[in-house]
Amino acid sequence: MQNNIQLIIGLGNIGDVYANTRHNAGWWMADIIQQNFYAQTPWQNQTKMHGAASKAMIKNQQVLLLKPNTYMNNSGVAASSMCAFYKIPASKILVIHDELDLPAGSIKLKLGGSAGGHNGLKSIDQHLGTNKYWRIRIGINHPRNSKLPTIQNQSVSDYVLHVPSKEDIKLIHQSIQKAIENIHLIISGEMEKAMNIIHAV
Protein backbone atom coordinates (compact mmCIF):
# COMPACT_ATOMS: atom_id res chain seq x y z
CA MET A 1 0.00 0.00 0.00
CA GLN A 2 3.06 2.25 -0.13
CA ASN A 3 1.93 3.88 -3.38
CA ASN A 4 -1.79 3.87 -2.64
CA ILE A 5 -3.82 6.94 -3.56
CA GLN A 6 -5.71 8.82 -0.84
CA LEU A 7 -6.96 11.85 -2.80
CA ILE A 8 -8.29 12.21 -6.34
CA ILE A 9 -8.49 15.74 -7.75
CA GLY A 10 -10.41 16.38 -10.97
CA LEU A 11 -9.45 19.65 -12.65
CA GLY A 12 -11.94 21.92 -14.36
CA ASN A 13 -13.70 25.27 -14.25
CA ILE A 14 -16.81 25.95 -12.19
CA GLY A 15 -19.99 27.13 -13.93
CA ASP A 16 -22.46 25.77 -16.49
CA VAL A 17 -20.76 27.65 -19.32
CA TYR A 18 -17.63 25.49 -18.84
CA ALA A 19 -19.25 22.19 -17.90
CA ASN A 20 -18.95 20.49 -21.30
CA THR A 21 -15.68 22.08 -22.46
CA ARG A 22 -12.43 20.20 -23.08
CA HIS A 23 -10.77 21.79 -20.05
CA ASN A 24 -13.31 20.08 -17.78
CA ALA A 25 -12.38 16.52 -18.74
CA GLY A 26 -10.91 16.04 -15.27
CA TRP A 27 -14.23 16.96 -13.70
CA TRP A 28 -16.02 14.52 -16.04
CA MET A 29 -13.95 11.61 -14.76
CA ALA A 30 -14.19 12.72 -11.13
CA ASP A 31 -17.98 12.78 -11.45
CA ILE A 32 -18.03 9.26 -12.91
CA ILE A 33 -15.86 7.97 -10.07
CA GLN A 34 -18.15 9.65 -7.54
CA GLN A 35 -21.24 8.14 -9.18
CA ASN A 36 -19.89 4.62 -9.62
CA PHE A 37 -17.94 3.81 -6.50
CA TYR A 38 -20.42 3.93 -3.65
CA ALA A 39 -19.79 7.53 -2.74
CA GLN A 40 -20.26 7.92 0.98
CA THR A 41 -21.32 11.52 0.55
CA PRO A 42 -22.68 13.60 -2.32
CA TRP A 43 -20.56 16.43 -3.67
CA GLN A 44 -20.56 19.10 -0.97
CA ASN A 45 -19.09 22.57 -1.34
CA GLN A 46 -16.39 22.96 1.29
CA THR A 47 -15.38 26.59 1.78
CA LYS A 48 -12.19 25.68 3.61
CA MET A 49 -11.21 23.28 0.81
CA HIS A 50 -12.07 25.75 -1.96
CA GLY A 51 -14.01 23.11 -3.84
CA ALA A 52 -16.62 20.38 -3.92
CA ALA A 53 -15.58 17.34 -1.91
CA SER A 54 -16.82 13.78 -1.55
CA LYS A 55 -15.63 10.35 -0.42
CA ALA A 56 -15.78 7.09 -2.36
CA MET A 57 -15.02 3.48 -1.54
CA ILE A 58 -12.90 1.69 -4.14
CA LYS A 59 -12.01 -1.95 -3.40
CA ASN A 60 -12.57 -1.40 0.34
CA GLN A 61 -10.34 1.66 0.39
CA GLN A 62 -11.77 5.07 1.20
CA VAL A 63 -10.66 7.77 -1.22
CA LEU A 64 -11.21 11.51 -0.92
CA LEU A 65 -12.51 13.30 -4.03
CA LEU A 66 -12.09 16.98 -4.85
CA LYS A 67 -13.22 19.31 -7.62
CA PRO A 68 -11.62 22.74 -7.07
CA ASN A 69 -13.98 25.69 -7.55
CA THR A 70 -11.17 28.22 -7.79
CA TYR A 71 -11.09 28.08 -11.60
CA MET A 72 -8.29 26.26 -13.33
CA ASN A 73 -5.49 28.79 -12.78
CA ASN A 74 -5.79 28.55 -8.98
CA SER A 75 -6.36 24.80 -8.62
CA GLY A 76 -3.38 24.56 -6.28
CA VAL A 77 -5.19 26.57 -3.61
CA ALA A 78 -7.78 23.81 -3.25
CA ALA A 79 -5.25 20.99 -3.61
CA SER A 80 -2.94 22.37 -0.92
CA SER A 81 -5.85 23.09 1.45
CA MET A 82 -7.14 19.53 1.19
CA CYS A 83 -3.68 18.01 1.59
CA ALA A 84 -2.88 20.16 4.62
CA PHE A 85 -6.16 19.36 6.37
CA TYR A 86 -5.94 15.59 5.83
CA LYS A 87 -2.12 15.43 5.98
CA ILE A 88 -1.84 13.80 2.56
CA PRO A 89 1.60 13.73 0.90
CA ALA A 90 1.92 14.60 -2.79
CA SER A 91 2.89 11.02 -3.62
CA LYS A 92 -0.62 9.87 -2.63
CA ILE A 93 -2.48 12.33 -4.86
CA LEU A 94 -3.98 11.53 -8.27
CA VAL A 95 -4.74 14.61 -10.40
CA ILE A 96 -6.99 14.08 -13.42
CA HIS A 97 -6.67 16.63 -16.22
CA ASP A 98 -7.09 17.29 -19.93
CA GLU A 99 -4.00 16.83 -22.10
CA LEU A 100 -3.42 18.67 -25.39
CA ASP A 101 -0.44 16.51 -26.34
CA LEU A 102 -2.52 13.33 -26.49
CA PRO A 103 -5.16 12.53 -29.12
CA ALA A 104 -8.76 12.11 -28.07
CA GLY A 105 -9.22 8.48 -27.08
CA SER A 106 -5.78 8.23 -25.49
CA ILE A 107 -5.25 8.27 -21.73
CA LYS A 108 -2.02 8.03 -19.75
CA LEU A 109 -0.95 7.57 -16.15
CA LYS A 110 2.31 9.12 -14.99
CA LEU A 111 4.18 10.34 -11.93
CA GLY A 112 5.56 13.85 -11.90
CA GLY A 113 6.90 15.73 -14.88
CA SER A 114 6.43 19.13 -16.43
CA ALA A 115 3.13 20.98 -16.27
CA GLY A 116 3.47 21.35 -20.04
CA GLY A 117 1.67 24.68 -20.16
CA HIS A 118 -1.33 23.40 -18.18
CA ASN A 119 -2.22 26.19 -15.77
CA GLY A 120 -3.99 23.88 -13.35
CA LEU A 121 -0.87 21.74 -12.95
CA LYS A 122 1.33 24.84 -12.70
CA SER A 123 -0.78 26.08 -9.80
CA ILE A 124 -0.68 22.71 -8.03
CA ASP A 125 3.10 22.48 -8.48
CA GLN A 126 3.48 25.95 -6.98
CA HIS A 127 1.23 25.40 -3.97
CA LEU A 128 2.43 21.89 -3.14
CA GLY A 129 6.05 22.81 -3.77
CA THR A 130 6.55 19.68 -5.86
CA ASN A 131 5.45 18.01 -9.09
CA LYS A 132 5.87 14.49 -7.70
CA TYR A 133 2.22 13.48 -7.72
CA TRP A 134 0.36 11.05 -9.96
CA ARG A 135 -1.63 12.26 -12.95
CA ILE A 136 -4.18 10.81 -15.33
CA ARG A 137 -3.83 12.67 -18.62
CA ILE A 138 -6.98 12.62 -20.75
CA GLY A 139 -6.23 13.27 -24.41
CA ILE A 140 -8.27 16.08 -26.00
CA ASN A 141 -6.19 16.66 -29.19
CA HIS A 142 -4.23 19.79 -30.05
CA PRO A 143 -5.87 22.40 -32.31
CA ARG A 144 -2.84 22.37 -34.62
CA ASN A 145 -3.51 18.69 -35.37
CA SER A 146 -7.08 19.30 -36.50
CA LYS A 147 -8.10 18.94 -40.14
CA LEU A 148 -10.50 21.84 -39.76
CA PRO A 149 -9.00 25.30 -40.49
CA THR A 150 -11.38 26.94 -38.04
CA ILE A 151 -9.96 24.81 -35.22
CA GLN A 152 -6.35 24.93 -36.43
CA ASN A 153 -6.42 28.72 -36.12
CA GLN A 154 -7.81 28.71 -32.58
CA SER A 155 -5.53 29.71 -29.74
CA VAL A 156 -4.96 26.96 -27.20
CA SER A 157 -6.70 29.00 -24.48
CA ASP A 158 -9.77 29.36 -26.70
CA TYR A 159 -9.69 25.74 -27.87
CA VAL A 160 -9.76 24.18 -24.39
CA LEU A 161 -12.75 26.32 -23.43
CA HIS A 162 -14.89 24.97 -26.28
CA VAL A 163 -17.02 21.83 -26.47
CA PRO A 164 -15.35 18.94 -28.36
CA SER A 165 -16.88 17.46 -31.49
CA LYS A 166 -19.34 14.59 -31.03
CA GLU A 167 -16.69 12.18 -32.29
CA ASP A 168 -14.10 13.47 -29.81
CA ILE A 169 -16.59 13.40 -26.94
CA LYS A 170 -17.21 9.72 -27.67
CA LEU A 171 -13.47 8.98 -27.79
CA ILE A 172 -12.75 10.94 -24.61
CA HIS A 173 -15.46 9.09 -22.68
CA GLN A 174 -14.19 5.76 -23.99
CA SER A 175 -10.73 6.55 -22.66
CA ILE A 176 -12.17 7.66 -19.32
CA GLN A 177 -14.12 4.41 -19.08
CA LYS A 178 -10.94 2.44 -19.70
CA ALA A 179 -9.26 4.20 -16.77
CA ILE A 180 -12.35 3.79 -14.57
CA GLU A 181 -12.33 0.03 -15.17
CA ASN A 182 -8.79 -0.09 -13.79
CA ILE A 183 -8.99 2.64 -11.15
CA HIS A 184 -8.80 0.01 -8.39
CA LEU A 185 -5.25 -0.81 -9.53
CA ILE A 186 -4.24 2.84 -9.31
CA ILE A 187 -5.85 3.35 -5.92
CA SER A 188 -4.09 0.30 -4.50
CA GLY A 189 -0.72 1.45 -5.86
CA GLU A 190 -0.35 -1.14 -8.63
CA MET A 191 0.82 1.57 -11.01
CA GLU A 192 2.88 -0.51 -13.43
CA LYS A 193 0.06 -2.99 -13.91
CA ALA A 194 -2.41 -0.15 -14.41
CA MET A 195 -0.16 1.54 -16.98
CA ASN A 196 0.31 -1.67 -18.95
CA ILE A 197 -3.46 -1.97 -19.33
CA ILE A 198 -4.45 1.67 -19.73
CA HIS A 199 -1.67 2.57 -22.16
CA ALA A 200 -2.33 -0.42 -24.43
CA VAL A 201 -3.81 0.54 -27.80
Catalytic residues: 23
Alpha helices in 16-74 (DSSP H): 25-36
Q: Give the count of beta carbons closer than 10 Å to the beta carbon of residue 58.
A: 18
Q: What is the CA radius of gyration of the chain?
A: 16
Cβ-based neighbours of 43, under 8 Å, separated by 6 or more: 34, 52, 53, 54, 65, 67
End-to-end CA gap in the chain: 28
CA 56 to CA 30: how far, in whole Å?
A: 11
d(CA 162, CA 125): 25
Helix axes 191-198 and 166-181, enclosed angle (nearest 10):
150
